[in-house]
Structure formats: structure tokens, C-alpha cells
Structure 1
Amino acid sequence: MELSSSSERQYNATKPSEDERDKSDKTYHKYIERISTLPVWGEDPRDKLYKYQNFWFSHYYLERIMFAQEHFRAQSSDIILSSAPKTGTTWLKALAFSIVTRNCFDDSMNPLLTSNPHDCVPFVEVDLAQNPPNRHLDHPLISTHIPYISLPESIIASGCKIIYICRDPKDVFVSMWQFACKVTQPIPLEMAFEMFCGGMYLYGPYLDHVLGYWKASLERPDMILFLKYEDLKRDTMSNLKTLAKFMGQPFSEEEERNGVSEKIIQLCSFEHLSNLEVNKSGKHRPEAPITVPNNAFFRNGKVGDSENHLTLEMKKCLDGIMEEKLRDSGLNF
């Protein structure tokens, strides 16, 4: 399968022109008044969060979510990679992208070698809201952080498949705190912890986000594959094969003999991706209010790292919140 030259260009992140940004600003202007009526948290205009459909969003993302809810048209062949921030999104994108494009490139030409995984799989609420043609790549993958309750109706109506990944809340908090400190400004651990527990952060509250997809996956297991980051780390091979089968692209016997799955795991490993030049020195989404250095997406990828950062009281507090929120759900971490 050969990629067209237009598709090849779309795998490389490009900065929108001033005309495109101006058009984007006008597109989202219609939502300003609507957002102004929502509950708001925070004093600094740069950090304000707005409560919409029981979750908290920044003005920038909420405008684009509202636009996507009105205009995004899912196709039955789409595969939505969904997650809350800092739960394994980068790894899931790399694995899924490698699975569906495994016959498109020579090993030395894979876009993951020169592009961050986030630049290979477009976000519904940013890339596709701002530039709909971005969805016309030679693969069906689309990603989002949008909670299940707020997904564009066309995603559910289309019957397209959704893959959701989640992670132990304690590790999510530490990863999110360190990410925020790196890309915005240092935040005292205690203050960040209080905000996390209260759900006052981008796309929060976290466990509500998880439970939305968990309950939907129980109702529609044919449509929604629910993954845990910890399971993916513990047995990557088995979960990789589950991913491939769910996406309708299982590994053939010949591929098994040729070690295709092993090559994908190696290509997408934390050690390999984090040491690529693009992920050490590149930047993601330079047109957004906050430009993220690619290396911020690769901290350590370890399970249980929160043990090195949280106090005993903090761990007990989060355990208590999990026990209350997840009671009778059948879900545990």
C-alpha cells in the first residue's frame, strides 16, 4: 500500500498560516457567549476552566469541542483512540498507528521515526475541528480526550470503534503534575493534588472520565475496547494482538513467523521513541496557546512511579476517592 504525496505531507506537523488562524478565530467566536454563561474556576484568564456537561475545560479546547459536537461527522470505518490526558495516550497512538500502517512503509521510513505520535494521529477537538481535511489520511485513526458523554453524536451513531485507555489515578496525577510543571509553570505538589482530587483540571474529573467509557464498554463491548495502561505494560504482546484484532487487522500467521508484532513493540517502546531526535528536540502544536516540547510526552513510562512522589496521606486520600467512585462498578486499579 503506497501513500500519496498529499498523505505523506499530512504526517508532518505544519504551522497554520496567519490566514488560517484568523479564520479559525472567527469560526469559534460564536461560542464565546455560550461559554461565558458556564460555571468558571480560576482567576488568571490563561488558566480559567469552564464546567461543561460535568467536566472542566479550558476556553481553547471547549470552543473546539463545541464545534466538533456540531460539525464532526464520524465514519463507520473510523477508529477513535480515546483517553484522559496522561494515561498512555502517546503509546496507544504509536501502537495503533503501527498496526494499521504496517504494510505501508519500509522499517526505515515509518513516520514515527520523524514525527511525534500525536502528529501521526489527529485529535477530533483540535486538528479536525480546525482543519477537517486532516482526517483524510490513509488510515482510520482519530484521537480524542473528550469524555464519553460529550462525544459528537455522530461517533456513537456511526457505530465506529472506540479504544479507551486508562491508568491508575495516582500515576495519572503525578504524570499530569510533572507535565504541567514542564510546559506551563511550576505548581506546588500540594496545590496540584488538591485540584486533582477536586476534578479542577483539563478534562477532569478523572474517574468520571474513566467511568463514562467503562460503563459504555460494558454495554457495547463490540464497539468499545477498554484497556488499562498497567495491563498493556505487563503483557504488551497479548494486548497488541487484542488491539489488532479489535481494529479488524489481526496479525497473519506469516506475520507472526516474521516477528512483525515484536518489531512494532520495539518501534513503539518508551526507550526507542524517547530517544528519537524528533522527540528530544521537536515541538508539538506550535499554534496552540501553549507549545509543548515533544520530550514532555516521554517522562519515564513506569507503573507505580507515584510511590516516589506522594505522601502516605495523599495515597490514602486517592485510595478513598477511588473506593467511593468505583464502588459497585466492577472496575478497579
Structure 2
Amino acid sequence: MTDPHHTHDIAPDSDALAALEARAYAAFDQGQLQQASALFGELAGHAPHVSYLHYMRGLAHKYLRDWPASLQHNLHAQALQPQLDEGAAWNAGIAATALGDWAEARRQWAHCGITLPEGDGPVERDFGMIGVRLNPWGDGETVFARRIDVVRARLLNVPLPESGHRLFDIVLHDGAKTGERALDDGVVPVFNALQILERSDHRTFVAFIRCPSADDLDTLQAAELPGIGYVEDWTASIVPLCLRCSYGVGHVHGDGDSAHEDDAASNDDWQIERTLGIGAQGKAAVERLLADWVAAGPGRGVDAIECPACEETAPEDGTVWWRDVTDVQDEDEDAGADDASA
């Protein structure tokens, strides 16, 4: 949560301090967060009573994911305000949650008027479905998740391995909405994921299969087996990306693809070659699931099962990744951009 830029509370008779404040905001707006924090700190040395300087330092450290410093500066900002500073309270609550300081997190959510179950440990409650942008400083893959806390959510999709995330990871997410996604008959807000708090034991397996019909796929997705968390049809949900090519699994694109000719003959627009994302505790469970499925129906096959090892990424200095996606799209459209991606 950001604050409007202030340029009038610090020694208005001092051109040098006004210029310093302008530099601090410019550094922040350019994603130079360490520099911005240092400049706001220098300003706070001249005007320690000005709360928004401490707030801005806390905000910079939130986007740096430096949680102890973010909590410290946001608490300092609150102490200087006679009334509730909701932005500082939200950011302090996020930082406290990241640090596992549940007493402080609960205090901050109470300040924001959020009713929580009684207790003194982690918050465990169903706050509903949301979308979460994983690695918003990178490709920004969006998956669905269920909030179990004000700013914690459990991932319910199988993320692409390249994201470094897994099915059932519990992630910390920001408090500011950055977009919306359709879900069932409505829409849910999308929030930026900040980091993984609890790593799931369900690794991501990529399976390239031959599936004669939608009914065959339904059978596979409905199958239950110990160690299998969820089977997701990435062919339907990840349209622009050919994962077979990216993983080196050979096939033919275009009109000469015999598999596509078979699709048209047997199942209208059905694509026989399909890519699955499978969240599972081990490869043996995936192999057994697919072997049982192949044995139970004609025309079914498995071309490859991959399990690439990928790590969670981190933002690079100078990347302004936290802005509302719709704001970025509006600016791109105003500039005549051909592609305003989310």
C-alpha cells in the first residue's frame, strides 16, 4: 500500500531538503529501493517527527522483502501518528506475518478492523478464494489460491516449475489488489505473492500424454491415488506456451501434425497430445497413476514425465513490479503499445 508523495512537511524553507525528498521519491519510483530507504532515512534525520518518511522506508523494505526493517519503520510511523495510519498498519501486519510474529500481526489486523478467531498463534481461517501472481517481478504467472489468513494463501493450482512454486505452497501476499480474474460465475481479486512461507511436499511433474477424448482426461483427473495432489490440464489452461517444445519432447506443429488430424476425426476440436501439470509427493506415484490410466483405455499413452528443479526467484534492483497491473496497462495503451500484458 503506497502513500501519495508528500513534499510539504519537511522544512519548506530548505531547497536542499526539498531536492533530497524529490530524489528519494524518484529513487523509489525507479525501483532503487536501497537508495530510496537511505535518502528517506537522511530526511528523517532532519525531521524525525514526520511519520510518512518512516512509512516510506517501511514500504521500501517491504518491496525489498526485508521484514525486520519493514516492521521497525512501519511501527515507528504509527507511533508518530495520533490516529490510525492504515497503510502503515497493513504493511506492519504483512511484515509481522512474514516474521511469524503472530501477536504483532494480530494487533495490526485489529487496528485495521479485521475480526479474527481467538488465539495467539497463526491465523487459520477461510478468507475465500483469490488469484495470486507468482514472481510478479518476472513472468507473473497467476494461479488460484485460498486465503487462510489476511495475507497468507495456499496455492490450489499446479504452478509451472519455472515459477519455483508448488501445489499447496503457503505464500505471503501483498495487501493491495493488482487485478481480477474470472472464477466460476464471478471474479476474484489478484494479489502479488511476496514469498513462499511454507514449502509444500508436492513437487511439480510435467507429463506429456496422448489422450483420445475429454472423457479419458476426466477419468484421469478423477483418479485418486496416495501421493497425488492434483492433475491439471495445462493444454487447456496455458494456451500460448508449447511445453513439449520447451522440454524437448518431439512432435510436429501445423497442418501436417497427424495427431491433430486424428483429433478432428474422432473428437472434433479435441487435441490428443496434452500436457499435464501434476502436483505429487514423488515420481513413483505419478508413474503408477499414469500406468493405471493407460492400461484402462485404448489409445492412451505417455510420452514423457519430467520433474525440473527450479528455485523461487527474487526481484532485481530497479524493477518496479508492485504497481497495479491495470495502471501499467493504461500507460501502455496511452503510449500506443502493441502488447499490454498482465
Q: Name the TM tier (shorter chain).
A: under 0.3
Q: Between Structure 1 and Structure 2, which shows a larger proportion of strand residues?
A: 2
Q: TM-score, normalised by structure 2?
A: 0.24
Question: Could you say which structure has the higher helix fraction?
Answer: 1
Question: Which is higher, the Rg of structure 1 or of structure 2?
Answer: 2
